[in-house]
A = this chain, B = another copy of it.
């Protein structure tokens, strides 16, 4: 196949999206598959993905599953054959909502729980500590409390955004831009 500007552009996008994913803690291949499906005009099957990205069946399967788990892509069944096809969420706002909700659930909420536990461990003044150490413990406890406060607020904000949907997010950003300057 001759490389048209279209194909060339798409390849560039897929590669670059993969690199970005990598710096955000998403495996390069998973991000590439996502980019491939996001820029596809029809659902692709596992073999399509394998061929376009030059990856093994196992790798494709694993990463497709992860993308399904994230809710970033969906299964589509064809009438013609018995393969499973995949399709990405194409609305970028919805995509953002899904990602931020999932990261919140998987990574932020667990760290909040940990910090709560850490805070509980130093909450009541201990008799086993010297005066100096007790003072340090209080400073430490206050910082944890501030971090908790912050993370909980982010959690709330994220939930609100998730509820708000596309229109809501746009509205918020517009309010935001006026409210600040």
Contact = CB atoms under 8 A, between A and B. Distances in A.
Given A16-B111, A122-B9, A157-B177, A136 B172 contact: no
A70 interface: no
A57 interface: no
A126 B6 contact: yes
Q: Is the interface of A mostly helix, strand, loop or mixed?
A: helix
Contacts of A149: 92
Nearest to A113: B16
Contacts of A121: 5-6, 8-9, 12
Given A5-B122, A122-B9, A140-B41, A176 B160 contact: yes
Contacts of A144: 13, 39
A153 B136 contact: no
Interface stretch (A19-27, A48-56, A60-68): A19-27
Interface in A78-105: 90-93, 96
Contacts of A163: 180-181
Nearest to A93: B150
Report which residue of A90, A115, A179 has the largest number of chain B beta carbons within 10 angstroms of its beta carbon: A179
Contact of A137 (B6, B147, B161): B6
23 contacts: A2-B128, A5-B122, A5-B137, A6-B121, A6-B126, A6-B133, A6-B136, A8-B121, A9-B118, A9-B121, A9-B140, A12-B118, A16-B111, A20-B107, A20-B110, A23-B106, A25-B26, A41-B135, A91-B146, A92-B150, A156-B173, A160-B176, A160-B180
